Chains A and B, each alone.
Chain A
């Protein structure tokens, strides 16, 4: 038996006690997902002013976690499978946060210390063919039919 094969055997033993709760567990998760869907629709309908989106995202994350952990058996698995999934999630969050940081802060350093943009989004003349409500001085270079 080669060294590689021995390594593989070790892995095989590590995942040996991987067991399955069976149909009842799936049914419970399914019921929880249905209930959470109804909850998110009801709270979404209320159009909560400040934390509506945050609540919807929290509910979606809980639902996603239930699917990944129990339907996709991540709860049973050890090691590499979890690392791959968690790493991809980390990179999604990084990509989301850093582009939002960019959009959220892009023009502010160009302003004087006391200056704040009159209207947000700031009119740049670059990629926003819409007239925004504010009165920024930036000339409209492009009009869109």
Chain B
């Protein structure tokens, strides 16, 4: 039942290694099932982490609907839309990486993850331009809000920017973590590690990236489209 625990680094090039099954799992399938379930549990905690900010948003928007609408008009919808399309496309390439990993096409897995990471980088660059503009005109959280723009002198506007920076900042942090995770799994793919028997790391890494996309799918209409 137990397979040999050969370290992945020692296998011959071009031959995917036999995945290690830990002693407490009956089979490789069960081990992979447990890994996936563990990832879902972790993603559930991530969803609830972001949900806290969604609840803040909902409550303050209920209290200050006019302020939130006024502040939302000052976000760059074009940049936000481009970022949404970039992130959805990067999610697609991450899904394709899983598809190729199942077929043991490690070369394509590497290509797909490089594309995903490049798009993640593009997302962050666009986010940097949005942030630097906001900082430049003083559309900042709470007491740091200094924008003299007349249409922004409405109750709730500084609160909107507090939530804007907290939620997009936390999301951006997840983008960076996701890039690191995908780069790590990409290195493993570069060592030809994945095959139909063992693609757990690709699948779970991609799941993390899809969660980042999932969160943005909700942040985008909340922040940009009200």
Cα separation A80 to B117 with both chains bound (whole Å): 30
Q: A67 touching B91 by the CB < 8 A rule?
A: yes
| Bound CA–CA A41/B92 (angstroms) | 20
Cα A57 to Cα B219 with chains together (Å) = 10
Q: Say whether A71 contacts B91, CB under 8 Å.
A: yes
Mask, B184-222, CB within 8 Å of A = 1, is: 000000000000000000010011001101100110111
Stretch at the interface among B32-40, B120-128, B132-140: B32-40
B21-38 toward A: CB 8 Å interface, digit per residue (1/0)?
A: 000111101100100110
A135 is an interface residue with CB less than 8 A from chain B: no
Q: In the complex the two chains form, what is the Cα distance from A87 to B98 in whole Å?
A: 26
Of the residues A22, A41, A53, A60, contact of B99 by C-beta under 8 Å: A22
**Helix, strand, loop or mixed for chain B's interface?**
helix
Instruction: Give chain A interface residues in 7-65, CB to chain B under 8 Å.
Output: 8-9, 11-12, 15-16, 20, 22-23, 26-27, 29-30, 33-34, 37, 40-41, 44-45, 52-53, 56-57, 59-60, 63-64
Q: Which residues of B contact A99 (CB under 8 A)?
A: 55, 58-59
Asked if B48 and A92 sit within 8 Å, CB to CB, the answer is yes
Query: In the complex, which residues of chain A have a beta carbon less than 8 angstroms from the beta carbon of B41?
Result: 84
B57 to chain A, nearest CB (A): 10
A103 touches B47 (CB 8 A): no
Could you say which residues of chain A place their CB within 8 Å of the CB of B92?
A: 26-27, 29-30, 33, 71
Q: A33 touches which one: B54, B88, B155 (CB < 8 A)? A: B88
Interface with A: B10-18, B77-85, B175-183, which one?
B77-85
Interface residues on B, range: 35 or more
Are A30 and B99 interface neighbours, CB within 8 A?
no
A92 touches B27 (CB 8 A): no
Complex Cα spacing A130 to B66, Å: 13
Determine if A9 and B26 form an interchain contact, defined as CB atoms under 8 angstroms apart: yes
B210 near A71: Cβ-Cβ < 8 Å:
yes
B221/A57 in contact, CB under 8 A: yes
Nearest Cβ on chain B to A89's Cβ, whole angstroms: 7
Instruction: Return the contact of A92 from the options B51, B62, B211, B213 (Cβ within 8 A).
Output: B51
Interface residues of A in 60-114 (CB under 8 A from B): 60, 63-64, 67-68, 70-73, 77, 80-81, 84-85, 87-89, 91-92, 95-96, 99-100, 103-104
- Distance (whole angstroms) from the CB of A62 to the closest CB of chain B: 10
Binding site for A on B (CB under 8 A): 24-27, 29-30, 33, 36-37, 40-41, 43-44, 47-48, 51-52, 54-55, 58-59, 62-64, 77, 81, 84-85, 88-89, 91-92, 94-96, 98-99, 102, 143, 155-156, 203, 206-207, 210-211, 213-214, 217-218, 220-222, 224-226
A-B contact pairs, 14 of them (CB 8 A): A9-B27, A15-B33, A29-B92, A37-B88, A37-B220, A41-B77, A60-B221, A64-B218, A70-B95, A72-B211, A88-B48, A100-B59, A103-B63, A130-B155
**Among all A-B residue pairs, the 6 with the closest Cβ atoms:** A44-B225, A88-B44, A130-B155, A56-B221, A8-B26, A30-B92
